[in-house]
């Protein structure tokens, strides 16, 4: 009897899919290098992301070597090179504004800025009078987790009621 209950419980959890116990990975955003001479710049120069997102600094085949260093040394892609593929992930407690630069071209204005939004709050940004909700990733994940937890809980209750009914029927005999 107990074995059937355990089998049904495992089956219920299996068919309900991802139960949301693992935190989804954030999005990956890419920063590249564009321009020549005194017009060298990061693209995009400014970037707004959520906590948990990653920024990939990627360039290859450049005539000049580059790197990406955050002003307070939070991230550093290392020595300036022509081929760079460096990724930094902002943790869930690192909201804020981070300025970064290319060490050999800092005096030429090769600077960038990353704004990291706190995903635990309803962050609204305003551009040209339009409000854009920036925590869609969080609300989608929360609703996914809530649905899965509720579906598992419902299945457990149904299995419990099924076995309780069977036990009541057996004791009546």
Instruction: Please state the rounded mean pLDDT for residues 9-34.
Output: 68
Backbone phi, then psi, for 105, in 5-degree steps? Answer: -120, 20
pLDDT at 168 over 70: no
How confident is the model at residue 125, as a pLDDT? Answer: 44
Sign of CA dihedral 41, 44, 45, 49: negative
pLDDT band at 121 (very low <50, low <70, confident <90, very high): low
Q: Region 100-113: what's the mean pLDDT?
A: 95
- Taking each continuous run of H as one helix and of E as one strand, the counts in the chain are 2, 10
Under the banding of pLDDT at 50, 70 and 90, the label for residue 24 is low
Q: Where are the domains of the chain?
A: 2-21+141-172, 28-134
Backbone angle region of 20, left / alpha / beta, with phi > 0 → left and psi within -120 to 50 → alpha = left
Q: In this predicted model, which residue has the larger pLDDT, 151 or 79? A: 79
Predicted pLDDT at 124: 44
Q: Can you give the pLDDT at residue 111? A: 96
pTM surpassing 0.75? no
pLDDT for the residue 61: 77
Q: Which tens digits make up the pLDDT trace of 27-84?
A: 999 999 887 777 889 999 999 999 999 999 998 878 889 999 999 999 999 999 999 9
13/129 Cα distance (integer angstroms): 46
**DSSP result, 26-90:** --EEEEEEE--GGG-EEESSEEEEETT-EEEEEE-S-SS-B--EETTSS-B--S-BSSEEEEEE-
pLDDT of 21 reads 47
CATH of 28-134, one of 2.60.40.420, 3.40.50.2000, 3.40.50.170, 1.20.120.80: 2.60.40.420
CB 66 within 8 A of CB 89: no
Residue with the two structure tokens 């509720």: 150
Neighbours of 66 (CB within 10 A): 22
């Amino acid at each position: 009897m107990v074995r059937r209950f355990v089998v049904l419980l495992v089956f219920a959890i299996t068919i309900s899919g991802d139960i949301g116990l693992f935190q989804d990975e954030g999005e990956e955003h890419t920063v590249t290098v564009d321009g020549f001479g005194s017009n060298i710049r990061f693209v995009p120069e400014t970037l707004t992301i959520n906590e948990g997102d990653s920024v990939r600094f990627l360039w290859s085949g450049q005539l000049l070597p580059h790197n990406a260093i955050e002003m307070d040394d939070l991230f550093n892609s290392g020595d300036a090179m022509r081929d760079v593929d460096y990724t930094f992930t902002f943790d869930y407690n690192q909201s804020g504004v981070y300025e970064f630069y290319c060490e050999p071209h800092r005096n030429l204005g090769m600077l960038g800025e990353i704004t990291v939004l706190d995903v635990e709050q309803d962050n609204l940004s305003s551009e040209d009078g339009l409000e854009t909700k920036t925590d869609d990733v969080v609300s989608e994940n929360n609703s996914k987790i809530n649905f899965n937890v509720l579906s598992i809980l419902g299945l457990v209750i149904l299995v419990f009621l099924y076995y309780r009914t069977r036990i009541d029927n057996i004791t009546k005999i």
